[in-house]
Amino acid sequence: MKSMASTSEKILDVAQSLIVAGGYNGFSYADISAAIGIRKASIHHHFPTKAELVSVLVDRYRRQAEVGLESLRGELSSPAEQLQSYLNYWRTCIRDASPSFCVCAMLAGEMQMLPEEVASRVRAHFQNLAGWLTSVLRAGMEQDLFRLNNRPEEEAQMLMASVHGAMLSARAFNDPGLFTIIVTPQITRLLGRDS
């Protein structure tokens, strides 16, 4: 009973890895079909249109992200540890090339030509993530763990941009380690003063 993933979940898994590699226009039903050994028509049975497939995909991604981030927010760990865990997640992903890029970050680049139903979901993820980071930063500030030079919501945007930019650079230079090099000093900066 190793992987009991349903067909529709397998479809979403493959679609996600294809989007991460090449964006919305970078994959087709034929690609998915070939990858999991099922006919195109069967994929249409589960997801009538491409826009719907990607919408469901982003919904699933958002749900997983929400759960993941929420679980970090437990009383167990300090805001500093929460932030570090978030970054460790991506560091591991990028090193192991599992999903070496955030689906929503990828789609955000194509915002202007995405079906509206997809675009709005991507926007929503960005809002969620910014919100989570803001609340963690604010908590850390109130506990005197972080010394912020800007308002928490601004520092959250800065951090989010660093993370996404670091993903891009790691990919452009084909150097997973670059992610850590870029992102770690930003945390160091929040924690204290000097590196």
Is the C-alpha dihedral spanning 9, 14, 18, 20 positive or negative? positive
45 belongs to the binding site for DNA (CB under 7 A): yes
Interface region with DNA, contact rule CB under 7 A, candidates 27-35, 106-114, 119-127, 128-136 = 27-35
34 belongs to the binding site for a copy of itself (CB under 8 A): no
Contact 64, 58 (CB under 8 A): no
63 belongs to the binding site for DNA (CB under 7 A): no
Contact 85, 72 (CB under 8 A): yes
Q: Which is nearer to a copy of itself, 3 or 195 (CB)?
A: 195
Indicate which of a copy of itself, DNA, none lies near residue 40 (CB less than 5 to 8 Å, by partner kind): DNA
Interface region with a copy of itself, contact rule CB under 8 A, candidates 53-61, 85-93, 135-143, 150-158 = 150-158
Could you give the angle at the alpha carbon of 165 between the alpha carbons of 144 and 129, nearest 5°? 55
Lay out the site mask for a copy of itself across 96-135 (x = CB under 8 A, - = otherwise). -----x--xxx-xxxxxx--------xx--xx--------
Q: Which is nearer to DNA, 44 or 73 (CB)?
A: 44
Is the C-alpha dihedral spanning 7, 27, 62, 94 positive or negative? positive
Interface region with DNA, contact rule CB under 7 A, candidates 29-37, 130-138, 149-157, 165-173 = 29-37
Contact 86, 3 (CB under 8 A): no
Is the C-alpha dihedral spanning 156, 147, 80, 172 positive or negative? positive
Contact 57, 15 (CB under 8 A): yes
Indicate which of a copy of itself, DNA, none lies near residue 42 (CB less than 5 to 8 Å, by partner kind): DNA
Could you give the angle at the alpha carbon of 87 between the alpha carbons of 86 and 91, nearest 5°? 125
Q: For binding to DNA (CB under 7 A), which residues are involved?
A: 6-7, 27-31, 37-42, 44-46, 48-51
